[in-house]
Amino acid sequence: MGNYRFILSGGGTGGHIYPAIAIANELKERYPEAEFLFVGAKDRMEMEKVPQAGYKIEGLWISGLQRKLTLKNIMFPIKLISSLIKARNIVAKFKPHAVIGTGGFASGPLLKVASQKGIPCILQEQNSFAGITNKLLSKKAQTICVAYDGMEVFFPADKIVKTGNPVRSDLVENRSVAKEAVEFFGLDVNKTTLLVLGGSLGARRINQLIEQKLEFFETFDLQVIWQCGKLYYESYKKYDSNKIKVLPFLDRMDYAYSAADIIISRAGAGSVSELCIAGKPAIFIPSPNVAEDHQTKNAEALVKENAALMIKEKDLENEFEPFFSDVYISKSKQEELANNIKRLALPRATKHIVDQIEKLLKAS
């Protein structure tokens, strides 16, 4: 049967949206006649990103609970009831054969309703510290695809399958050579290249750090590809030169990773998975402003394997220069980190997740 109907739900951040899109693309590859519907939160970025990827999306009036008493918290029960009613209508009308949740608050009502109706449900958890929505849904899901070991502390062990996180296909199939990649950015193939990643919107503290350390990098004769994010580009574009490439975002991540000798990055689940595939020495500066401090936990999982280094934001002032100098000077350390991080890569994650969905379809 090729005319399956799939609902994919997840959002709020790129870390939940892009895995859902990658899974949909792989399902579409296998089942060209299938129908797809995404369900997200009304006012979040998925309402823009999913249609751009060519899929229909319905929005629920849902948001998370705040840590302190706010109007949003008072509205939460009303939003939840409204979302459950709309989710029930969506499921009844679309009649999916399977529902896939990738985290984020919108997936909660949708998967709860689907599981109550006996529709096969699969969860995909990107982080090493499970999100609250996926933890709540785990009892009802048939399969939970994870990227890290030790997830039994959050989920029923018999439902867990370690697949890894979906990453964009151009990185998995990346055949670009370093020389071609460096030249793409107009840089010198004979110099060491530092790649700085703060996510598509940018990371304020990382941008401040790089601005402060430009003279320090100059002492190493380093060249820099600095993805500062679209929110910050106007502030930092003045530093663009023949040795420093300042970009709001990177269209060619495959070239960026190929050109890099050392990478400084946030530690979102998607970034960590991509860096494992890139196989380059990485210094993580986790965002402290995310739910359950999951970026720090993602980074720590790699540090424990001697596959990456980490500096917390609060330690940057005192520790960054000696820390970076040690990595830059020691080629053996760079090699060790690169080899170890590459060993953690799971490049076939999207295919493995869709294999699990197919298993559920055959069993239902």
- Do 188 and 306 fall within a single domain? yes
What's the pTM? 0.85
| Amino acid 4: pLDDT | 96
Residue 14 scores a pLDDT above 80: no
Does the pLDDT at position 67 exceed 60?
Answer: no
What's the pLDDT at 64?
56
Q: List C-alpha distances in Å: 217 to 120, 179, 213, 221, 322.
A: 53, 21, 6, 7, 12
Name which of 40-44, 73-77, 209-213, 225-229 the model is least confident about: 73-77
Rounded Cα gap, residues 336 and 158, in angstroms: 34
Judge if 272 and 325 occupy the same domain.
Answer: yes
Q: pLDDT tens across 325-360, in order?
A: 999 999 999 999 999 999 999 989 999 999 999 999
| More confident: 30 or 177 | 30
Q: Count CA within 13 A, CB hemisphere, residue 341.
A: 30
* Residues annotated within a binding site for UDP-N-acetyl-alpha-D-glucosamine: 13-15, 127, 168, 200, 295
As for how many domains the chain has, the answer is: 2
Same domain, 22 and 105: yes
pLDDT tier at 63, thresholds 50, 70, 90: low
Is the model's pLDDT at 95 over the cut of 90? yes
Q: Within this chain, do residues 296 and 208 fall inside the same structural domain, yes or no?
A: yes
Torsion sign (Cα): 116, 117, 118, 124: negative
Q: Which residues are annotated as a binding site?
A: 13-15, 127, 168, 200, 295
**Nearest-angstrom CA–CA distance, 213 and 223:** 12
* 192 and 109 inside one domain: no
Say yes or no to pLDDT of 147 above 50.
yes
Which CATH number is 72's domain given?
A: 3.40.50.2000
DSSP-derived 3-state class of residue 109:
helix
Asked whether the predicted pLDDT for residue 296 surpasses 50, the reply is yes
18 & 140 share domain: yes
Same domain, yes or no, for 331 and 353? no
Range of the domain at 250: 170-343
Name the strand (E) or helix (H) holding 41: strand 35-41
One domain, residues 18 and 98: yes
Clarify whether residues 35 and 152 are in a common domain: yes
Question: Is 328 found in the same domain as 179?
Answer: yes
Are 259 and 304 in a shared domain?
yes
Q: Which two tokens stand for residue 360?
A: 């559920």
Which residues share a beta bridge with 6? 36, 98
Same domain assignment for residues 46 and 155:
yes
